[in-house]
């Protein structure tokens, strides 16, 4: 096998690995595919540059064209990776299926295939050498699909357990809540007793919220779209939250309509407002705002708490990640899932801590 043929085959291998890694990452959001892409891309670039440098005059033009196509592909693949990292996997998939991307893939992959065939004495030799490469790519693709299926099966199992747990917990919680109301009626409510009753109320609310966190995360609830105003969603979200007297809640001045699932969006705001309330230890403010931007709506929740540390902010939407002793670590993961289901995005900056939700005004 000639050195030129060997280099072309290595280019072909790297091209397949990069393309499949980018696509696997777009479909699964599994960080290992991003890591694999970033490890292989410099190797691919180096072998192309070496080929141009060492090629004779007659072949230098060919390898330069391959390098040009590769650079365009890498730029689009890195853009797709950035889309996934910014919770936009749909845009990543669309980019990797775009006409321009497929055109450059045809230039690179098709050009390399013709070059390799030309330099092999027999077609069989090419098939024998290339088949292991294709087998590796196919195995990686199947592995990505299997991992996704395994995750889904795990969540199905957890979902069954969570539903049973919720049922088992809700009944005694209802009895406790009813008993508390009876105690208030029986003994009256002076300042001292009210303080104790408030503690019990908050404890019950915390347990209910944690049960809801688990259920919201593992259940697949179909979206029921309806035209609703932002103020209606906010008011529903506040029904189950007790805002302490030391915290001022500022609601949006403007109101507008959007098409969404009222209950699920109320769960999102409920989680974010409750997080903000818990983040403020002393006197503070939680500010909600909403604006329309063309065919999008942008909702923000800002609090005057101490903020989120830099080493934790990147993991804040990850399942089971929490900085609170009583937290489940599923609340914000559920929030992200709901927003994603609505074809929207959510991000956070800190300090001050500001959660920003972007949603389409209409969901088709």
* Residue range 307-357, pLDDT digits in tens: 877 777 777 777 554 555 444 455 677 788 888 888 889 888 888 889 999
User: Strand ranges (DSSP E) for 220-353?
Assistant: 226-229, 247-250, 257-260, 284-293, 296-303, 345-349
What confidence score (pLDDT) does residue 339 get? 87
Pairing type for strands 296-303 and 257-260 reads unpaired
What confidence score (pLDDT) does residue 122 get? 46
Distance CA 92, CA 309 (A): 29
Q: What is the pLDDT of residues 252-306, one digit of tens each?
A: 988 888 888 888 899 899 889 988 888 887 788 999 999 998 888 999 999 988 8
Pairing type for strands 284-293 and 257-260 reads unpaired
Q: Is the pLDDT of residue 81 over 90?
A: yes
Q: Is the pLDDT of residue 41 over 80?
A: yes
What confidence score (pLDDT) does residue 125 get? 45
Q: Is the pLDDT of residue 124 over 50?
A: no
What confidence score (pLDDT) does residue 83 get? 93
Q: Is the dihedral of CA 37, 38, 43, 48 positive or negative?
A: positive
Q: Is the pLDDT of residue 145 over 50?
A: yes
360: exposed, middle or buried (C-beta count within 10 Å: 0-12, 13-18, 19+)?
middle
What confidence score (pLDDT) does residue 119 get? 61
What confidence score (pLDDT) does residue 146 get? 58
What confidence score (pLDDT) does residue 231 get? 92
Q: What percent of the chain has pLDDT over 70?
A: 72
> How much is the mean pLDDT over the chain?
77
Q: Which residues contact 158 (CB under 8 A, 6 or more apart)?
A: 218
For the ranges 66-70, 123-127, 182-186, 358-362, the lowest mean pLDDT is seen at 123-127
What confidence score (pLDDT) does residue 128 get? 43
What SS3 state is found at 359? strand
Q: What is the pLDDT of residues 194-238, one digit of tens each?
A: 777 777 777 777 677 666 666 666 566 677 888 999 999 999 888
Closest by CA to 262, choosing from 359, 120, 148, is: 359
Name the more confident of 32 and 187: 32
Query: pTM for this structure?
Result: 0.46
Q: Give yes or no for a contact between 233 and 266, defined as CB atoms under 8 angstroms apart.
A: yes
Name the more confident of 137 and 34: 34
Q: What percent of the chain has pLDDT over 90?
A: 13
The DSSP symbol for 250 reads: E
Q: Give yes or no for a contact between 66 and 48, defined as CB atoms under 8 angstroms apart.
A: yes
What confidence score (pLDDT) does residue 107 get? 86
């Amino acid at each position: 096998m000639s050195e030129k043929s060997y280099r072309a085959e290595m280019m072909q291998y790297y091209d397949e690995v990069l393309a499949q890694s980018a696509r696997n990452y777009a479909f699964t959001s599994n960080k290992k595919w991003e890591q694999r892409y970033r490890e292989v891309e410099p190797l691919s670039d180096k072998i192309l540059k070496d080929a141009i440098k060492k090629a004779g005059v007659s072949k230098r033009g060919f390898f330069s064209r391959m390098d040009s196509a590769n650079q365009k592909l890498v730029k689009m693949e890195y853009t797709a990776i950035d889309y996934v990292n910014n919770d936009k996997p749909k845009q990543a998939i669309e980019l990797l299926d775009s006409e321009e991307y497929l055109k450059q893939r045809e230039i690179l992959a098709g050009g390399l295939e013709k070059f390799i065939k030309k330099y092999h004495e027999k077609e069989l030799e090419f098939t024998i050498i290339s088949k292991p490469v294709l087998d590796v790519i196919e195995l990686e693709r199947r592995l990505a699909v299997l991992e996704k299926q395994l995750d889904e099966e795990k969540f199905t199992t957890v979902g069954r357990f969570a539903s049973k747990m919720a049922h088992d917990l809700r009944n005694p919680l209802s009895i406790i809540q009813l008993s508390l109301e009876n105690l208030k009626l029986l003994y009256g409510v002076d300042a001292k007793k009210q303080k104790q009753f408030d503690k019990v109320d908050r404890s019950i609310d915390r347990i209910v919220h944690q049960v809801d966190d688990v259920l919201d995360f593992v259940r697949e609830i179909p979206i029921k779209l309806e035209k609703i105003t932002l103020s209606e969603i906010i008011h529903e979200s506040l029904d189950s939250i007790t805002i302490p007297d030391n915290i001022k809640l500022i609601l949006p001045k403007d109101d507008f309509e959007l098409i969404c699932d009222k209950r699920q969006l109320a769960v999102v705001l409920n989680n974010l407002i409750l997080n903000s309330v818990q983040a403020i230890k002393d006197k503070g403010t939680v500010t909600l705002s909403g604006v329309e931007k063309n065919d999008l709506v942008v909702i923000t929740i800002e609090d005057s708490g101490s903020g989120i540390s830099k080493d934790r902010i990147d993991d804040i939407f990850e399942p089971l990640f929490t900085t609170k002793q009583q937290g489940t670590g599923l609340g914000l993961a559920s929030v992200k899932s709901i927003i994603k289901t609505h074809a929207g995005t959510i991000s956070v900056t800190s300090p001050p801590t500001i959660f920003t939700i972007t949603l389409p005004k209409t969901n088709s």
